[in-house]
Amino acid sequence: MKICEKKSRGFISANRFQLAFREASSSASRATADMTPWGDAKLFFCIFFIICCSAVTEAQVPVDCCLSVANQPIDKRLIADYREQAKACSIDATILVTRHGRKLCAPTKEERWVKDVMKHVDHLKKRCKNQKYQGNHCFGVKRE
């Protein structure tokens, strides 16, 4: 009897081997099944992230547009800068920027008073640049 016990301890019988193999393979398949949802989720989020990034880069940059213009003359001493409105906007306008940074919508530069304001701002910018933007008259003027 002792010889049989030693043999059974030293060698695994075929039945015990099959049982151990089944347990190992079932636990491996469970681990694979547990990993599959996370793998799918990671793949989904990677694809989602790429799509979102490409959509953001393809999106157009929003443009500030004047919806109406004021035909009343504005005191040129209040204005520190100007620019033409973007071509994508529905009306033609000149955007006047005050010394405090507020934006005002004015008609196109064909208007006499708008031309005067633009001429004054150009002179102001040149003068401030020569004086290195020192003094009260250069308040609100942006450096070029």
Task: Tell me, yes or no, whether 71 lies in a domain.
Answer: no
Question: 74 or 38: whose pLDDT is higher?
Answer: 74
Task: Tell me, yes or no, whether 67 lies in a domain.
Answer: no
Do 85 and 134 sit in the same domain of this protein? Answer: yes
Do 9 and 52 sit in the same domain of this protein? Answer: yes
Among the candidates 10, 29, 58, a domain finishes at: 58
Among the candidates 31, 58, 85, a domain finishes at: 58
Do 117 and 89 sit in the same domain of this protein? Answer: yes
The total domain count for the chain is 2
Digit-coded pLDDT (tens) for 110-125: 899 999 999 999 999 9
SS3 123: helix
Q: Which pair of structure tokens corresponds to residue 120?
A: 């004054």
* Domain carrying residue 11: 2-58
pLDDT greater than 80 at residue 31 = no
Strands 94-98 and 79-84: antiparallel
- Give me the pLDDT at residue 45, please: 72
Do 47 and 80 sit in the same domain of this protein? Answer: no
Which of 50-54, 80-84, 86-90 is most confident? Answer: 80-84
Do 80 and 51 sit in the same domain of this protein? Answer: no
Task: Tell me, yes or no, whether 54 lies in a domain.
Answer: yes
> What is the pTM for the complete model shown?
0.55
Give the integer Cα–Cα distance in Å for 81 and 120. Answer: 10
Residue type (1 letter), 33: A
Do 129 and 91 sit in the same domain of this protein? Answer: yes
Task: Tell me, yes or no, whether 112 lies in a domain.
Answer: yes
Write the CATH number for 118: 2.40.50.40
Task: Tell me, yes or no, whether 105 lies in a domain.
Answer: yes
- Give me the pLDDT at residue 37, please: 61
- 103 neighbors 67 (Cβ within 8 angstroms): no
Task: Tell me, yes or no, whether 68 lies in a domain.
Answer: no
Confidence grade of residue 81 (pLDDT, cut at 50, 70, 90): very high
Measured CA to CA in angstroms, residue 130 lies from 46, 52, 127, 141 at distances of: 55, 48, 5, 13
